Structures are given as C-alpha cells and as structure tokens.
Amino acid sequence: MGDIFVLIISCIFINNIVLAQYLGNCPFLGTSKKMETAVGMSMAVIFVLTMAGVITWIVDTYFLVGLGIEFLRTIAFILVIASLVQFVEMFLKKSIPALYAGLGIFLPLITTNCAVMGVCLINVQEEYTFVEALISSIAYAVGFGLALVLFAGLRERINIGRVPKPLQDTSIGLVTAGIISLAFFAFKGMV
C-alpha cells in the first residue's frame, strides 16, 4: 500500500508530467489562457489518459512483448490512442451529450498531446504492473490537471498586468511556468 502512495505522490508532484518531465507543453500553454478551458482540458486528459494507459499496457504486454515485436510500439501506441480518442468522442456524443458538450471540443487536441503518449511509454518502460500502470496513468493526469489549473489561474492575473511587449503571451507564460516548476522542484526533497 505504501508503494502505491509513493507512486501517486511521485507522479503528481515530484515527476509532474508537465513541469518536471517536459511533456504536454503545447496544450499546457495553449489551453491555459482561461480557467474554464483549463478545467475542461484537465478533465478530458484525466478521462482519456486513464483509458489509454490501461489499453496500451495490455497491448504492449500481451501482444508486442509476447510476439517480440517491441519496435512497433510507436506505431501501435499512436494508433491505439488516436482511435481511442475518436471512439470516446463518438461514444460521448451519443450517450452522454452533457459531458460531450463540456469536454468534446478538447478531444481532438488530445491525439497530439504528448503527455498521453508519453505516459503510456513511461508505463511500459518502467515495467509497471497492471495496477501500477493504472494508478500512474491517473496520477500523472491529475498532475497535468493540477499544473494546468494553477497555471491558468496565474495567467488570468498576468493578463491584467503590464507586461513589456516582447515578453507578452507565450514568453511570459513560459517564465511563469518556470517559476511554478521551481516550486514543484521542492518536492524532490520530499521522498
């Protein structure tokens, strides 16, 4: 049980997917201009990443490793993720239109979110068991959401401030992200 707890803490804070692992930066900067969008995107990532982490783990363990064709991992994973996103989009549209209205518009952005692909790859590289893979997927996604929501809150405030022209928008965003990252850096001393 203790291991699981350490895994969760490490995935959310210490190895935060955006701020320490450098993954998922494009949506991190792109969808953080408004709190509303940031929350939607976070939810969509948590939803998709959990499913993608589990399914890719199964594909990897039972097919790729079993058949000895690990070199096809990249193609297999991207195909699985892309079709999963498509599937989820169709499913939500039909079955849970309310949820689709909230998350649907972000789903196409997730296919090219390297956080999703990255976590799937980390899961198999670290040779996690099924349960660990599941937990780490959820925890990484929560970490992504946490970072995104924090960042969006800061950016909303920065928008009011007087920022020199060349530093505006993405530039100041990155510097801000650096400072949040520094804060998360402190968690490294925790474990």
CB of residue 114 to another protein, shortest distance in Å: 4
- 1 versus 162: smaller Cβ distance to another protein: 162
Position 62 contacts another protein (CB under 8 A): no
Residues near 101 by beta carbon (within 8 Å), at least 6 away in sequence: none
Distances (CA, A) of 161 to 23, 126, 164: 28, 43, 10
Q: Is residue 102 involved in binding another protein (CB under 8 A)? A: no
| CB-nearer residue toward another protein: 83 or 129 | 83
Cβ 1 to another protein shortest distance, Å: 29
How many CA atoms lie within 13 Å of 86's alpha carbon, on the beta-carbon side? Answer: 6
Q: How far apart are CA 31 and CA 3, in angstroms?
A: 33
Q: Which of 46, 146, 19 is nearest to 106 (CA)?
A: 46
- Regarding 189 and contact with another protein (CB under 8 A), the answer is no
How far apart CA 179 and CA 171 sit, in angstroms, is 13
Point out which residues bind another protein (CB under 8 A): 19-26, 29, 59, 63-64, 67-69, 71-80, 82-83, 86-87, 90-91, 93-95, 105, 108, 111-114, 117-118, 121-122, 125, 159-162, 164-168, 170-179, 181-182, 185
